């Protein structure tokens, strides 16, 4: 076996570190004939840096002490080139336990090493892109927010003068609505980038679930009424108190209700219903809308996921709302799930939060 294995280099080394036997596989892998290697110090097969660091002696000391030394490292061929070797050095002893020498088996693993390096490079490049994306998101959201504040102020001033000519009423309404929708997008972007860099802090307090849900419904009301949906809210009669950041939790439900309104054809139904299950409060936001295809469901909470960009973009979105929902709910120690039976079968989002107490 030792003579015929050409994929492995097999060698016997004396206690003086000199090669006693050198297999044909070793001849092939190192490019050194057995006649040249016999009697030579095994350190000849190590690269210069390892010799300087005392690796050959160390390897023998480890094998001597523990029976075997297993290592992957660069090694040198006769022509000075290197290859990545995976191998083991075994201490050989007689029946009395006296050290006879060492056996070494190794194989050329350069390809594996190169593949690993390529994966590592790809990972590093992806991580760098991810960092650049975070910086970009943060810069973009700040840059977009800056012109929005004066725009919104200007619209308010026009509104407050109360002297808008009747024919300007519609354009002014459009300006106000578009500014509000841009503001929501920019706020979401800003939050996503803050969560990405761990900069969001919850201001938790004891809050009543029904108050949060009702105030979310109020905020999302224009989107719901604008598409003539029927919205029904069903919550338990007793107040459920949870430990939460009311503004952030409202944002979660606003996003879910807005989505239900956006992705449901006009005149649909939206139900919000809440219950307590054990020590969890569970809120479902369900609609009779276009639904979410099976294959997209597992990624629906990932940043920038959109079912079909044309469909979503026509509704004005960037695929960040659900990512925000998930991150905010997770920050609250809760979870969010989605269910949809497919195209046009509606969707159901379920938010679970730890309950504090029931009053």
Enumerate binding residues for ligand ADP (CB under 6 A). Answer: 259-260, 263, 287, 289-292, 300, 305-307, 312, 317-323, 347
Contacts of 274 (CB under 8 A, 6+ apart): 209, 210, 213, 234, 235, 236, 240, 281, 282, 283, 284
What are the tokens at 196?
Answer: 């990405």
Q: Which of residues 87 and 321 has its CB atom nearest to ligand ADP in the complex? A: 321
Residue of 46, 29, 37 whose CA lies nearest to 12 = 37
Which lies closer to ligand ADP via its Cβ, residue 207 or residue 292?
Answer: 292
**Euclidean distance between CA atoms 247 and 335, whole angstroms:** 18
Which one, 138 or 340, has the nearer CB to ligand ADP?
340
End-to-end CA distance of the chain: 79
The rounded distance, in Å, linking the Cα atoms of 63 and 355 is 59
Smallest gap from Cβ 259 to ligand ADP, in A, equals: 3
Nearest approach in angstroms of CB 327 to ligand ADP is: 11
Least Å distance, CB 332 to ligand ADP, is 18
Cα angle 43, 45, 47 (rounded to 5 degrees) comes to 85
Which residue's CB comes closest to ligand ADP? Answer: 317
Q: Please state the closest distance from residue 115 (CB atom) to ligand ADP, in A.
A: 36
Nearer to ligand ADP, 59 or 287 (CB): 287
In the complex, the smallest distance separating the C-beta of residue 289 from ligand ADP, rounded to whole angstroms, is 5
Pure H helices in the chain: 24-30, 34-37, 48-52, 55-66, 110-161, 166-196, 209-226, 246-262, 309-313, 321-331
For ligand ADP, the closer of residues 93 and 177 by Cβ is: 177
């Amino acid at each position: 076996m030792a003579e015929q294995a050409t994929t492995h280099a097999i060698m016997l080394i004396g206690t003086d570190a000199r090669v006693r036997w050198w297999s044909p596989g070793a001849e092939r892998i190192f490019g050194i004939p057995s006649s040249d290697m016999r009697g030579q110090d095994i350190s000849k097969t190590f690269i210069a840096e390892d010799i300087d660091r005392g690796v050959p002696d160390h390897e023998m000391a480890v094998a001597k002490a523990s029976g075997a030394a297993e290592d992957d490292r660069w090694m040198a061929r006769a022509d000075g080139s290197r290859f990545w070797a995976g191998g083991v050095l075994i201490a050989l002893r007689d029946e009395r336990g006296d050290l006879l020498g060492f056996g070494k088996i190794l194989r050329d693993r350069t390809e594996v090493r190169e593949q690993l390096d390529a994966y590592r490079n790809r990972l590093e490049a992806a991580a760098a892109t991810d960092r650049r994306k975070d910086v970009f998101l943060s810069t973009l959201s700040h840059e977009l927010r800056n012109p929005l504040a004066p725009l919104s102020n200007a619209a308010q001033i026009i509104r407050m003068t109360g002297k808008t000519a009747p024919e300007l009423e519609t354009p002014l309404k459009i300006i106000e609505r578009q500014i509000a929708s841009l503001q929501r997008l920019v706020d979401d972007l800003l939050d996503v980038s803050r969560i990405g860099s761990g900069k969001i802090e919850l201001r938790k307090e004891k809050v009543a679930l029904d108050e949060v849900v009702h105030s979310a419904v109020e905020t999302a009301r224009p989107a719901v009424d604008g598409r003539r949906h029927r919205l029904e809210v069903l919550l338990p009669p007793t107040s459920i108190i949870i430990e939460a950041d009311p503004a952030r939790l409202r944002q979660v439900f606003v996003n879910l209700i807005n989505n239900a309104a956006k992705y449901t054809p006009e005149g649909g139904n939206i139900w919000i219903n809440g219950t307590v299950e054990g020590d969890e409060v569970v809120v479902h936001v369900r609609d009779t809308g276009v639904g979410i295809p099976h294959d997209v469901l597992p990624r629906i909470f990932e940043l920038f996921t959109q079912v079909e960009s044309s469909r979503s973009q026509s509704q004005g979105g960037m695929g960040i709302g659900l990512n925000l929902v998930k991150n905010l709910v997770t920050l609250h120690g809760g979870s969010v799930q989605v269910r949809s039976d497919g195209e046009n079968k509606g969707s159901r989002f379920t938010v679970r939060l730890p309950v504090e107490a029931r009053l």
